[in-house]
Amino acid sequence: MARRVVITGIGAITPLGYTDQLWAALMAGRSGIGPITRFDASAYPCRIAAEVRDFSPDPWLPRKESRRMDRFAQFAVACALMASADAGVMWPEMDLDRVGVIMGTGIGGMGTLVEQSAILAERGPDRVSPFFVPMMIANMASAQVSIITGARGPNITTVTACSSSANAIGDAFRTIQRGDADMMVTGGSEAALLPLSIAGFCAMRAMSTRNEAPARACRPFDANRDGFVLGEGGGALILEELESACRRGARIRAELLGYGLSADAYDVVRPAPGGAGQILAMQRALQDAGLRPDAVGYVNAHATSTPVGDREEIQAIRAVFGPYAAELPVSSTKSMTGHLLGAAGAVELIICVRALESGVLPPTINYEQADPECEVDCVPNVARAQAVAVALSNSFGFGGHNVSLIARRWEG
């Protein structure tokens, strides 16, 4: 029998603030999207983003160490230390051979890559930093978290585009279930708000161009949605084997029950028609959790505010949940946070944990005109007091990577 896995700590850095600030902003229906301030975006079709403002790694890292990390790794370490503090973990007292780290990122150290490429072009090879490679490579978030905490168990990085951190959490869940660790630090981070990435997404025509009204730009499920808004940040969770957590006297925030994953095997950017791969991921998560579809009380949707993506996800939800889908609350918190790419799954599972604990569901803001192909109870515009026992979180990535995670409210 697989070992039970619980969530004992959470930590997030988002455009809406850190963990508690994030939840307060979601409850208020406040957007974290605004004009790009990181660089001059006047020549770009999309000039808005969900930036993490005023972040400093100083509370978590010595200045010398943080300067040798890309921003995405700084986010990861800060979130991991937030989550471990929330879980009451004292690292020197832990059996660190039984603690592992799995973090996800879709892009990794892109800021470092762009910066050092410019130095090479302008100043020559002798001026490229000796820290370039260990700052840029995607595994450095999980590596740095391991170094900071001392965790010597399994250490892995997942790179599956926008499902990266959801895969990381699911793989950490499996690691504990099969007995390879008793505790895992898991989640993901992303820091890709750069001219090159904005230009690339604009060239794909994937981004919203509502530049004059940034707070209203991201509008999942709305008939007038026109694309996603890029964000940045990170999220981390402490997962523990149930008996180990109880021996430690840990506060249990929720139980992780199910992990489903699949591939579309269809296209590099478009979801499979009818959400075929997404259906498989949700069905497999339900089967893994041993739950009927009507046991789920809330879905945090992947929905990014793209015309095709939102439609296919709702079709998939209808296929999985049947008639019950008409009354199932399905909201997209990306309407407020923007799309955090590889960090999205971790942040959104943290949001699910808070929804389970509080009995309040976060809204989908900017919902003004119904789309017949996306009709769903999207908790429109205002948070809703509604106690639910089980939440499902969807994360889908370019290349057809699909992940669904299921968590249950902890009843003791």
- pLDDT tens by residue, 157-170: 999 999 999 999 99
pLDDT of amino acid 60: 96
Give me the chain's average pLDDT, please: 97
- At 10, the pLDDT band (50, 70, 90 cuts) reads very high
DSSP string, 316-343: HHHHHHGGGGGTSBEE-THHHH-B-GGG
Does this model's pTM top 0.95? My answer is yes
Q: Indicate which residue of 79, 162, 202, 218 is catalytic.
A: 162
pLDDT for 112: 98
Confidence of residue 316 (pLDDT cuts 50, 70, 90): very high
pLDDT at res. 1: 73
Out of 302, 352, 378, 401, pick the active-site residue.
302
| Mean pLDDT to the nearest integer, 254-262 | 98
Nearest-Å Rg of the Cα atoms of the chain is: 20
Task: Please give the domain boundaries of the chain with CATH numbers for all domains.
Answer: 1-399 (3.40.47.10)
pLDDT digits (tens, 9 = 90+) for 165-194: 999 999 999 999 999 999 999 999 999 999
Average pLDDT over residues 261-275: 96
With pLDDT > 90 as the criterion, what percentage of the chain qualifies? 99
Residue 80 pLDDT level (bands cut at 50, 70, 90): very high
Cα first-last separation, the chain:
20
Tell me the pLDDT tens digit for each residue of 231-252. 999 999 999 999 999 999 999 9
Catalytic residue among 46, 202, 218, 339: 339
- Can 339 be counted among the known catalytic residues? yes
Sequence-distant (6+) residues with CB within 8 A of 339 are 50, 162, 218, 228, 229, 230, 231, 304
Q: What is the pLDDT of residue 49?
A: 98
